[in-house]
Structure 1
Amino acid sequence: MGLQGKSAIVTGSTKGIGRAIAEALVREGVNVCVSARHGDEVERAVAELSEMGEARVTGAVCDVRDYEEVKALIAHAVEEFGGLDILVNNAGIGHFARVEETSPEDFRAVLETNLFGVFYCCREAIPHMKRRGGGYIINISSLAGKNAHPQMATYNASKFGLNGFSEALMQEVRHDGIKVSYIMPGSVNTYFGGDQPSAEKSWQLQPEDIARVVIDLLHHDERSLPSAIEIRPSRPPKK
């Protein structure tokens, strides 16, 4: 895909992996719509990204758990850019506790963000991509989508579901010229799940590593579809 002048939405894109992806897209000349739940963070990201190059940057407040807010996000990007070519579903939350210690509200919030939110965004974006003759949907999953761990049942459920959803969607829309890939990172040095970026965790992946994978996917020839990508730290601490 030639990226110059294309239009993209990146959810959860004011910090961490999403922000790194938005920055990488802007550097490639892609017009980007950023989104997050907090308006001040969206405004700051739009201002900072707009200074990076000639690509157009806009933003919208969006909680992907709310279908009406997702519809408004997609409509805003299409109105601003005249269409939609790329959707990166990055917004996600984690909850790490034993099942009997997990509240129904926490379980619902994770599934609604990590899985329902992706469904909402895809459902709204696909018709616009079809009108453009194709596009690319990239879902940010996790190695927790294929490796179960104790005290991660809620997060595992959301990411196992996301992987299955992505696989089925890929087969549904490939002949419409829409590619679907999902990326499964291992440990990334971000604030996710209450973590703190630090020099002591420099062995972990950086957000820029995931952004590089996104850009590489978008540059693949039309005949090529790497539908599932695993990326992990090359030298984690020895156990």
Structure 2
Amino acid sequence: MESLKGKKVLLVGATGGIGSRLAKLLQGSGAMVYITGRNADKLSIAGEQAGIPANRQFQLDITHESDVYAIVATVQQDGPVDILINAAGIGIIKTMDTLTTEDFQRTLQVNLMGSFWLTKAILPSMKETKKGLIIHIPGVLGKVPMAGAAAYSASKYGLVGMMQSIREELKRTEIRITHLFLGGVDSAFWDTIDLRVQRDKMIVAEEAAKAIWFLCQQPASGVVSEMVLQPFNHQAI
């Protein structure tokens, strides 16, 4: 396994249940960690808990294209990013009779367009060095849809297709692309979703963070193209 010591890691979406725990794991492994989050207060707390200095914390809404490019450029002022982890995203679970155009567009804007801008911003420097690792988290609904997930699955299927196409463009480099297909994780994701779910039987957020931490250390001689992690009681894949 590759050591994380001294690696520059950009973790986007560090204020959530998974992201905040992942920030601690990365920082504890000796990586040079930069984190982003939409909420400044939550970002500051996540940074303090992980031991990440304020100058490596950036408030960011990935639906703002110019901000994405500006922050990536700032992070890379003293050298390219080795690992990009996109843990940002939203989940709107509604049936078609209640799903609005605004819901659909917002989901695509965060989960797909935001991922597009992050990837596009980070790739030039990775192409220059011909190496790097990009980790996105489509979730199992990026492979197997469910009722009420039209917007969410559309955004995640789009993400998977986009990154598979980009992977084909990068075949002559050592830039690796990894997808983590997570099933239900007991996190704040479910706080605003009106579904009857058994959160006590979901994946613990700490374990989901450890899975991403593991993927950051994949061997230089190979690539983990995708990993599936889902609850025992709801294996969709």
Counterparts of 2:116 and 2:73 in 1: how far apart (Å)? 16
Is the 8 Å Cα contact of residues 93 and 193 (structure 1) preserved in structure 2?
Answer: no
Deviation at 1:33, TM superposition (A): 1.1
Give the direction of change, closer, same or farther, for the CA distance of 1:195–1:209 in structure 2 (3 Å limit).
Answer: farther
Unmatched runs of 5 consecutive residues or more in structure 2: none
Is the 8 Å Cα contact of residues 83 and 129 (structure 1) preserved in structure 2?
Answer: yes
Q: Paired residue for 1:186?
A: 183
Unmatched runs of 5 consecutive residues or more in structure 1: none
Q: Which amino acid aligns with 1:184?
A: F
Q: Paired residue for 1:41?
A: 42
Is the counterpart of residue 115 in structure 1 residue 115 in structure 2? no
Counterparts of 1:64 and 1:50 in 2: how far apart (Å)? 24
Counterparts of 2:163 and 2:207 in 1: how far apart (Å)? 21
SS at match of 1:64: coil
Q: Which amino acid aligns with 2:230?
A: R
From 195, 199, 202, the counterpart of 1:201: 199
Give the direction of change, closer, same or farther, for the CA distance of 1:57–1:229 in structure 2 (3 Å limit).
Answer: farther
Is the 8 Å Cα contact of residues 20 and 50 (structure 2) preserved in structure 1?
Answer: no
Is the 8 Å Cα contact of residues 5 and 30 (structure 2) preserved in structure 1?
Answer: yes
SS at match of 2:113: helix
Deviations 1:218-237 (A, max 9, x none): 32222211211111113459
Q: Paired residue for 1:233?
A: 231
RMSD: 2.2
4+ long deviations beyond 6 Å: none
Is the counterpart of residue 220 in structure 1 residue 221 in structure 2? no
Give the direction of change, closer, same or farther, for the CA distance of 1:172–1:56 in structure 2 (3 Å limit).
Answer: farther
Deviation at 1:20, TM superposition (A): 2.0
Deviations 1:34-83 (A, max 9, x none): 111121222222222117xxx9971111111111110122122113x532
Give the direction of change, closer, same or farther, for the CA distance of 1:9–1:112 in structure 2 (3 Å limit).
Answer: same
Greater share of residues in helix = 1
Is the counterpart of residue 13 in structure 1 residue 10 in structure 2? no
Q: Which amino acid aligns with 2:163?
A: S
- Which is worse superposed, 28-37 or 125-134? 125-134
Is the counterpart of residue 137 in structure 1 residue 127 in structure 2? no
State the identity %. Answer: 27
Counterparts of 2:212 and 2:185 in 1: how far apart (Å)? 15
Q: Paired residue for 2:95?
A: 98
- Which is worse superposed, 11-20 or 207-216? 207-216
Is the counterpart of residue 211 in structure 1 residue 209 in structure 2? yes
Counterparts of 1:222 and 1:56 in 2: how far apart (Å)? 31
Taking the TM superposition and a 5 Å limit, the aligned residue runs for 1:128-167 are 128-167=125-164
Counterparts of 2:201 and 2:129 in 1: how far apart (Å)? 41
Q: Normalized against structure 1, the TM-score is what?
A: 0.88
Count of residues in Structure 1 that have an aligned counterpart in Structure 2: 230
Is the 8 Å Cα contact of residues 143 and 185 (structure 1) preserved in structure 2?
Answer: yes
Is the 8 Å Cα contact of residues 85 and 132 (structure 1) preserved in structure 2?
Answer: no
